[in-house]
């Protein structure tokens, strides 16, 4: 018996499905390539900044207290909103820190003021690097290629934290060793980014809460006479919009 030929309508529907599938694939591929290009450009920009920062010949031995430290001079020529640098061994975190008069400018802008998904690592606008802030707050995105603050997740591992409990934090004028005392997930309703305190008691109370929240217990002693640095990035464990991953460290001038 002769097989029935597919009807004209079925052929048209089949072709439409094929066209739609190919279109969806091409659109997705275009979107993915756009993301990959953005990642590539971001890595190139960061690599360029690292070259500028580390390839300096001058020394800081005879530098006056109010003079900018070597390494930052050239960076400031490119962007005068550079205020520091953060380096965390065992991670990709080795970046300049920027600061504007708000906490939105560098969410999606890089060091060259180019629009990018990765944004920049930036200091809370309420902080002032020329004074001794009680809580210095630094923000950054978590990018899928491991860049920016994605590798803060490594500090949720007890073994990694014990081997990398300190990191370097430099400002234009000072250099600090930062010793991690707390790592945890939280929601934005916990005010871990508070920068001003009416008295030492209120600051001390916040420090206790920060330490008690830690997923990993540390033996770092912390009190209201200490300065700390807070690193904050998005996290999806508790909530995809309000969730945050936070790392706190005690600062010691080098």
Q: Render pLDDT for 141-151 as a digit per residue (tens, 0 to 9).
A: 999 889 999 99
* Partner residues linked to 42 by β-bridges: none
- Alpha-carbon distance 63 to 54, whole Å? 18
Within-domain flag for 4: no
Could you tell me if residue 205 is inside a domain?
yes
**Enzyme catalytic residues:** 234
Write the Ramachandran bin of 173: left for phi over 0, alpha for psi from -120 to 50, otherwise beta: alpha
Distances (CA, A) of 129 to 50, 112, 123: 21, 21, 9
- Tell me, yes or no, whether 12 lies in a domain: no
27 occurs within a structural domain: no
pLDDT tens per residue, range 10-46:
656 656 665 565 445 445 444 446 666 777 777 787 8
Residue 179, burial from CB neighbour count under 10 angstroms (0-12, 13-18, 19+): buried
Host domain of residue 197: 47-57+70-253
pTM, two decimal places: 0.84
Kindly state whether residue 169 falls inside one of the protein's structural domains: yes
- Please, are residues 37 and 116 in contact by the beta-carbon 8 Å criterion? no
Is residue 180 included in any domain, yes or no? Answer: yes
pLDDT at site 69: 85
Q: Domain for residue 37, yes or no?
A: no
Whether 104 shows a pLDDT value over 60: the answer reads: yes
Q: Which of 43, 111, 119 lies closest to 81 in space, CA to CA?
A: 111
Write the CA distances from 189 to 56, 136, 186, 193, 239, integer angstroms: 43, 19, 8, 10, 12
CATH number reported for the structural domain that contains residue 180 in this entry? 2.40.260.10
Residue 120 belongs to some domain of the structure = yes
Q: What percent of the chain lies above the pLDDT cut of 70? A: 83
Number of domains observed in the structure of the chain: 1
């Amino acid at each position: 018996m002769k097989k029935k030929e597919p009807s004209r309508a079925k052929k048209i529907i089949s072709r439409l499905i094929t066209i739609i599938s190919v279109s969806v694939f091409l659109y997705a591929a275009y979107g993915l390539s756009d993301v990959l290009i953005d990642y590539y450009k971001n890595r190139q920009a960061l690599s360029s900044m690292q070259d500028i920062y580390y390839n300096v010949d001058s020394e800081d031995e005879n530098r006056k207290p109010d003079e900018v430290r070597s390494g930052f001079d050239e960076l400031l020529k490119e962007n005068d909103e550079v205020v520091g640098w953060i380096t965390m061994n065992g991670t990709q975190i080795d970046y300049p820190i920027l600061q504007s008069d708000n906490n939105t400018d560098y969410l999606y802008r890089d060091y060259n003021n180019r629009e990018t998904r990765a944004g920049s690592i930036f200091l809370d606008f309420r902080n002032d690097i020329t004074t001794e802030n009680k809580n210095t707050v630094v923000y950054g995105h978590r990018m899928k290629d491991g860049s920016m603050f994605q590798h803060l997740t490594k500090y949720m591992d007890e073994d990694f934290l014990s081997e990398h409990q300190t990191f370097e934090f430099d400002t234009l004028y000072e250099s600090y060793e930062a010793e991690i005392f707390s790592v945890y997930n939280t929601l934005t309703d916990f005010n871990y980014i508070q920068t001003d305190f009416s008295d030492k008691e209120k600051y001390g109370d916040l420090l206790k809460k920060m330490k008690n929240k830690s997923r990993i217990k540390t033996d770092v002693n912390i009190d209201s006479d200490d300065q700390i640095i807070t690193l904050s990035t998005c996290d999806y464990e508790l909530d995809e919009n309000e969730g945050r991953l936070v790392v706190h460290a005690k600062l010691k001038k080098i």
